[in-house]
Amino acid sequence: MKTLFVKAVRDFKAQKWQFLAVTFLVFLGVALFSGLYSSYLNIEATYKKFYHETNFEDLGIEFNPAPKELVKKVKAISGVKAVVGRLTAYATMDVEGRGVQLKLVSIPDENSKVNSVYLVEGVYPQRNEVLILKKFADLNRISAGETIHIEVNGKSYALRVSGTAYSPEYVLIAERTNVLISPKDYGILFVPYNVMEEITGMKGKITELHVSIYDKDFADEILNRVKGIFQPYGLKNFYKQEEQPGYKLLKLDLQGFEHIAFMFPSLLLIIAAFAVYILLSRMVMEQIGIIAVIRALGYSKYSIILHYLMHSLIIAVIGTTAGVFAGHYISAGMTSAYIDVLNLPYYVTGIYPGILAISIAAGFVTPLAAGIFTAKRAAEIEPAIAMRGYIIAYRAINIEFLAKFSILTRVAVKNVFRNPKRTLYTLLGIAMGVVLIATSLAFIDSINEMFYVQFDKIQTFDYKVECSDVSAVKRLPDVREAYPIVETWIRFERSGISKSSVLVGLPGQDLYSIYDLHGKRHFPPPEGMIIPQYIAENLSISDGEVVKAFTDVGIVKFRAYSLPQPLMPVCYANLEELKKAGFKPNEVIVKGGRESDLKKLGRVVSLKKLEETTREMMGLMYSFFAFSVLFGASLAFAEIFNTTTINILERRREIATLRMLGYTVREIAASLYIETFLLGLIGLVMGFPMAVLTLKGFEIMYRSEMFRMPFVMYPSTYAITAAVILLTLAVSLLPAIKYIARMEIEKVTKETG
Amino acid sequence: MKTILRFEDVWKVYKMGKVDVVALRGVNISVEEGEFVVVLGPSGSGKTTMLNIAGGIDRPTKGKVFFRNLEISSLDESELTMYRRNHVGFVFQFFNLIPTLTAKENVMLSAELVERPRDVDEVLEIVGLGRRANHLPTEMSGGEQQRVAIARALVKNPDIILCDEPTGNLDFETGKRVLRVMRDINREEERTFLLVTHNAVIARMADKVIYFRDGKVVRIEENEQPAEPEELSW
């Protein structure tokens, strides 16, 4: 067996580029799985640790101003561990001539057991001092000791920054009606309660309550009792921990990350398995005579299986070992990059034995499972072949229609059809290359599509102003169009399941439109409401059914119509209908106008800025997909290079014969190019549907309640993929042609003997 | 002398699509220990089929084949493998060396199969290739490759060496040198050789010649005074 091992190593060396290409695929699959999945676990461990350390709330409730003393009543409820009541307000501030939004939050006591503030630098604020969210401070170069000037309802306040901090509520900043918030343009200030009383003019009042409890099983019961206490003042919103906007956004984002961490490496490993199968199958086909001799010498079938599995094992050992090491570094880099986007003071990294075990198992199982089929087939080869020799039975192909062409052209076309197995292997190799390149490029297409759908189809206005006076907006210079809308929260509850969303009331206009997943425009129904498909499915709401929902104006009843929507699905209704139900327009959408003028009327959201912010926030995703494109292309190259060179190598006898007959290298090369491009075209036709199916798989895996990525493949992607594939085919023929030019015909002939 | 190999009414029928091809029709032969037997016959006469069955790489359709007292025609797949491993050495017409292994490694491949193999270097010396041990098959002439194949067969210390047209792919002089190596091993080590060929001249050096035609043994001749390989000419 020692010599058979030597043979396996020599086989590896003899086809080192082919073996290295498939080993690279296994390496990448293992590295990306262990790297990405470990970083997913790192991030999860980080935020869990942070939430635990900072006593993240179990329940939250928002209401109209109510006496602060009610906190005691909540504290007295059985099962409540800690409570904090607070005031919040919105403000603006100029940073280097740029207007930024601020949310002011009354800071809990230093020893508070709910939503504790994690002080990074400086001290807890005293009178006229504030703590500022660390990332916002860093991005805007604000440091402790500095005085900032903020504006609330047209009144200016000077506050000294006593330090920077993080908070469990703002790991990811999200509001109920807005989840795309730039950490640079939206800051959180933690302000002493007495300062907040002064700023808001609500002395002795609170507008929010945050609760931690002993047992989460009693969350609903306790929430109901808390709601009962504040009902008389008018409830605005309430949630359990899993519905807290920042927490929910983080969870869903991580869920998407987890799916990608699983899907992408799995795709690579499936392709690696195919590649190993193709490589070994071809090797066995080429070594039929050798296998027969080894069997005739007295080696058992079992030895043959072990021998060919040894090839898989070499791939597994190299690919997995390198993959696990690379995975460790990918994990550290990815965790750091991800945490950088979040408002977290530190990150936790770990080595996860489970992930390590799965990575190693996947790295070994992939080539071994692919290899076992070929190894078993090799073991079935009859030793008698050693005596009588082996001739591949080619099919007779009728190509009379090519009679006008040269014999080499005819041979090229015949080659495509005469050995179906070999052709199939080649086509599979090309098709996999297509899948890798096309899906990687389609990720970029999908991000561009997302921006197109959001900012060129759904929302085409320039600004959204928090203001109820549309006439005041219309009077401003350069405002071309302005429409009042309602934008508020809505919560559905059924059979113990609760789903919250955003409710948008639209008048007849073209600045804010409703589109379904397939790009078809819809309008709010004259009566009733469009609801996101996931809510209808989760709460079993059928079309036209009358449902109840909690809103700002209390419980409302309406007919619901489900619609699958791209990106962030929300509820839509006719503005007039909402007005009848008691809603008042609270925002104005504007085309034209100037931000500085609009700011005087209320908080302004600039769509241009929002798009920039979104692109900035998608930076990490962009890098990931750009990385995918790069790897997709290089893998496709490796895969196709592999397939093509094996194709030539296994026909070296035939090519040597052509050379002996007097055909020039150029003539043979032309014949090979015709054959290869013909295969390339068929491979493209096979590969594109496979790529679309893969993309569909990604779409399903990446889908969440808050976000539905429109996975698309632009025509340019088809064209680029086809060009890259054909170019790769052309380039991968070059070494083979070089080999043919240098081929020592005599030696090759001897090999055949 | 004891009988090492015996065929008793051996038939072999191959299925070629819908047609039955009868390769052996009731063959009865025996080979004695230490004999140098040449099987002679035209292409398609059944001689290679007989050799395959004798080597345990094929099974008869009917009849019995004995190696000493062991009925190899009734052995299962793994028992046949053990038979080939422990008792048989093969030399093929096309040498069938592993191209990625050196001469020595090709011989070692065979040596590793048995408990007490012969010394690989010594065997290579016997076939006159001591200095070519680390060369790859593509770096060797046809005659050298065939001598590596003989060393590969010999290193296992087999009871019988089966050769299928061993000179069929060699020129006249090289062929004679290879035959000389075989004859020396046969005489000095009293090792049994069963050699299949269509070259009638080679029959002159055999102790026994078995003539095949149409799947049948047509004649068996004992050679009282076998010729030396150097005396042969074709």
pLDDT tens, position by position, B51-70: 999 999 889 999 999 999 99
**Per-residue model confidence (pLDDT) at position A267:** 82
Structural domain total, chain A = 4
Residues of chain B contacting residue A289, judged by C-beta atoms under 8 Å apart: 94, 96
Residues A308 and A372 placed together within one structural domain of the fold: yes
Q: Chain B: nearest CA to A678, how far in angstroms? A: 33
Residues of chain B contacting residue A306, judged by C-beta atoms under 8 Å apart: none
Residues of chain B contacting residue A387, judged by C-beta atoms under 8 Å apart: 48, 51-52, 57, 92, 164
Structural element, H or E, at residue A115: none
- Max CA separation in chain A (angstroms): 102
| Planar angle of CA A537, A543, A548, nearest 5 degrees | 80
Q: Which domain holds residue A534?
A: 467-602
Residue A65: helix, strand or coil by DSSP? strand
**Per-residue model confidence (pLDDT) at position A659:** 80
Residue A231 contacts by C-beta under 8 Å, 6 or more apart in sequence? none
Rounded to 10 degrees, the C-alpha dihedral A348/A353/A357/A360 comes to 60
Residues A407 and A450 placed together within one structural domain of the fold: yes
Report the complex ipTM.
0.86
Supply the angle between the helices A288-297 and B77-87 in degrees, to the nearest 10.
Answer: 70
Residues of chain B contacting residue A388, judged by C-beta atoms under 8 Å apart: 48
Residues A143 and A197 placed together within one structural domain of the fold: yes
Residues A379 and A409 placed together within one structural domain of the fold: no
**Per-residue model confidence (pLDDT) at position A746:** 57
| Assigned domain for A303 exists | yes
Residues of chain A contacting residue B98, judged by C-beta atoms under 8 Å apart: 7, 290, 293-294
Rounded to 10 degrees, the C-alpha dihedral A394/A398/A403/A406 comes to -20
Q: A395 — phi, psi (to 5°)?
A: -85, 145
Domain boundary residue, one of A602, A636, A664? A602
Provide the residue ranges of all domains of chain B, joining segments of one domain with +. 3-231
Give the whole-angstrom CA distance, residue B18 versus residue A49.
75
Q: Chain A: nearest CA to B204, how far in angstroms? A: 24
Q: How far is CA B189 from the centre of its chain?
A: 16
Q: Which of A63, A265, A753, A10 is closest to B143 using CA atoms?
A: A753
Q: Which two structure tokens, joined as six digits, stand for A47?
A: 């935020």
Q: How far is CA A249 from CA A216, A504, A704, in A?
A: 21, 20, 10
Q: What is the average pLDDT across B10-33?
A: 91
Give the whole-angstrom CA distance, residue B20 versus residue B14.
6
| B55 to A296: CB separation less than 8 angstroms, yes or no | yes
Give the whole-angstrom CA distance, residue A111 versus residue B61.
93
Question: Taking a C-beta distance cutoff of 8 angstroms, is the pair A249, A65 a contact?
Answer: no
The one-letter amino acid code at A586 reads N
Which residues of B sit within 8 Å Cβ distance of A?
48, 51-52, 55, 57-58, 77-78, 81-82, 84-86, 88, 90, 92, 94-96, 98-101, 105, 108-110, 112-113, 137-138, 142, 152, 156, 164, 169
Q: How far is CA B123 from CA B106, B135, B153, in A?
A: 12, 16, 10
Residues A648 and A556 placed together within one structural domain of the fold: no
Residues A614 and A747 placed together within one structural domain of the fold: yes
| B57 to A383: CB separation less than 8 angstroms, yes or no | yes
Residues A379 and A272 placed together within one structural domain of the fold: yes
Domain boundary residue, one of A348, A371, A389? A389
Percent of chain B with pLDDT over 90: 58
Instruction: Summarize pLDDT for B199-212 with one digit per residue, the tens.
Output: 889 999 999 999 99
Q: What pTM was computed for the model?
A: 0.76
Identify the bridge partners of residue A165 per DSSP, sorted by sequence position. Answer: A119, A133
What residue in A sits closest to B88 (Cα-Cα)?
A297
Give the whole-angstrom CA distance, residue A163 versus residue A347.
21
Residues A259 and A377 placed together within one structural domain of the fold: yes
CATH superfamily ID and name for B3-231: P-loop containing nucleotide triphosphate hydrolases (3.40.50.300)
Give the whole-angstrom CA distance, residue A715 versus residue A210.
51
Give the whole-angstrom CA distance, residue B111 versus residue A588.
90
Domain boundary residue, one of A358, A389, A420? A389
| A3 to B109: CB separation less than 8 angstroms, yes or no | yes
**Per-residue model confidence (pLDDT) at position B39:** 95
Q: Which of A264, A302, A371 is closest to A22 using CA atoms?
A: A371
Size of interface A-B (CB pairs under 8 A): 93
Q: Chain A: nearest CA to B84, how far in angstroms? A: 5
**Per-residue model confidence (pLDDT) at position A750:** 47
Q: Which of A421, A397, A133, A153 is closest to A277 using CA atoms?
A: A421
Q: Which two structure tokens, joined as six digits, stand for B70?
A: 């062991």
Q: Chain B: nearest CA to A257, how far in angstroms? A: 47
Q: Which two structure tokens, joined as six digits, stand for B107?
A: 């011989």
| B100 to A7: CB separation less than 8 angstroms, yes or no | yes
Nearest CB partner across the interface for B51, out of A295, A382, A387: A387
Within 10 angstroms of residue A596's Cβ, the number of other Cβ atoms is: 9
What b/e sequence results for A500-531 when a residue is b if at least 16 CB atoms lie within 10 Å of its CB, and e otherwise? bbbbbbbbebebbebbebeeeeeebbeebbbb
Residues A622 and A750 placed together within one structural domain of the fold: yes
Q: What is the 3-state secondary structure (H, E, C) of A591-639?
A: EECCHHHHCCCCCEEEHHHHHHHHHHHCHHHHHHHHHHHHHHHHHHHHH
> What residue ranges of chain A have pLDDT lower than 50?
750, 752-753
The one-letter amino acid code at B138 reads T
Q: Which candidate in B15, B48, B49, B57 is best for mutational testing of the A interface (most A CBs within 10 A)?
A: B57
Residues A421 and A385 placed together within one structural domain of the fold: no
Listed in sequence order, the DSSP H helices in A499-538 are 533-538
Q: How far is CA A163 from the centre of its chain?
A: 35
Burial category of A109 from C-beta neighbours within 10 Å (exposed 0-12, middle 13-18, buried 19 and up) = exposed
What residue in B sits closest to A4 (Cα-Cα)?
B109
Residues of chain A contacting residue B100, judged by C-beta atoms under 8 Å apart: 7, 10-11, 13-14
Q: Chain A: nearest CA to B137, how far in angstroms? A: 8
Identify the bridge partners of residue A71 per DSSP, sorted by sequence position. Answer: none
What residue in B sits closest to A753 (Cα-Cα)?
B94
Residues A318 and A342 placed together within one structural domain of the fold: yes
Q: Indicate the pLDDT class of residue B31, thresholds 50, 70 and 90.
A: very high
Residues of chain B contacting residue A4, judged by C-beta atoms under 8 Å apart: 109
Residues A568 and A642 placed together within one structural domain of the fold: no
DSSP string, chain B: --EEEEEEEEEEEEEETTEEEEEEEEEEEEEETT-EEEEE--TTSSHHHHHHHHTTSS--SEEEEEETTEEGGG--HHHHHHHHHHHEEEE-TT----TTS-HHHHHHHHHTTSSSPPPHHHHHHHTT-GGGTT--GGGS-HHHHHHHHHHHHHTT--SEEEEESTTTTS-HHHHHHHHHHHHHHHHHH--EEEEEES-GGGGGG-SEEEEEETTEEEEEEE-SSPPPGGG---
Which residues of A sit within 8 Å Cβ distance of B?
1-4, 6-7, 10-11, 13-14, 289-290, 292-301, 382-384, 386-389, 747, 750-751, 753
Residues of chain B contacting residue A386, judged by C-beta atoms under 8 Å apart: 57, 90, 92, 96
Question: Taking a C-beta distance cutoff of 8 angstroms, is the pair A125, A94 a contact?
Answer: no
